[in-house]
A = this chain, B = another copy of it.
Amino acid sequence: MPKKTLSTKEKLLAAATELFIQKGFDRVGVREIAAKAGINLSLMNYYFQSKERLLEHIFEKIIISKATHLKQILDSNISLEDKIKKYTTEYIDVLIDNPLIVSFFLAILHRNPEKIVAMASIRTLYNSEVFCKQLEDEMKAGRIRQVDPEQVFICIVSLVIFPFAIKDLIMDRNNFSSSEFNKFSQQRKEVVSQMVLNFIGLK
């Protein structure tokens, strides 16, 4: 039975999330968040201990909801080719729908690398053990080229994530509108999977 009116905590989270998305972590102040949520400034420190913890809370919530699914693909029991295609495709979809994620991720990573490294949700997302083992098995069976699994994994996430980090640059260079950038991202699904599959010797 959902409440009709948002609790103070919910209002706070909603306002902070929206502002962080709109302006980025550094460009929104705590007083601005409180004002938008229509609450007293101190309540931010009552419910969360600090602005940074508030951000982490929001970040983890978003990451966890998306990361779980992506991780399942990586750990699933499907062919390497299908896995790479599915992973890149759905990862790109996630980033198209949540432009906030990349900016958040890089901002926190830059400001406080130890924190990102320690975050459970990130460790989960970037744990590619099953995927690496699968690559090694395929190599032993001679079905793919000899490659460093870690390098391959880094290549995939680089190809998927980085274009979203430089979205503004890409849009400016090509005179893309937002929807044109999304189209460009859609086309990347094919580009990225092909590039990775070619490299390991599939297709």
Contacts and interface: CB of A to CB of B under 8 A. Distances in A.
Query: Is the contact region of chain A dominated by helix, strand, or loop, or is it mixed?
Result: helix
Task: Report how many copies the assembly holds.
Answer: 2
Interface in A148-186: 148, 150-151, 154-155, 157-159, 161-163, 165-166, 168-170, 172-174, 184
Interface in A117-135: 117, 122, 126-127
Interface residues on A, range: 35 or more
A25 interface: yes
Given A154-B170, A159-B159, A109 B191 contact: no
Given A159-B155, A187-B151, A199-B195, A169 B111 contact: no
A187 B169 CA distance: 28
A103 interface: yes
A103 B108 CA distance: 11
Given A27-B111, A151-B187, A191-B148, A126 B163 contact: no
A191 B116 contact: no
Given A154-B163, A155-B159, A163-B158, A122 B169 contact: yes
Nearest to A23: B111
B165 A106 contact: yes
B191 A117 contact: no
Nearest to A114: B168
26 contacts: A26-B111, A106-B165, A109-B166, A109-B168, A109-B169, A116-B168, A116-B169, A117-B168, A117-B172, A148-B191, A150-B173, A151-B191, A154-B163, A154-B188, A155-B159, A155-B195, A157-B166, A158-B158, A158-B159, A158-B162, A161-B162, A165-B165, A195-B196, A195-B199, A198-B198, A199-B199
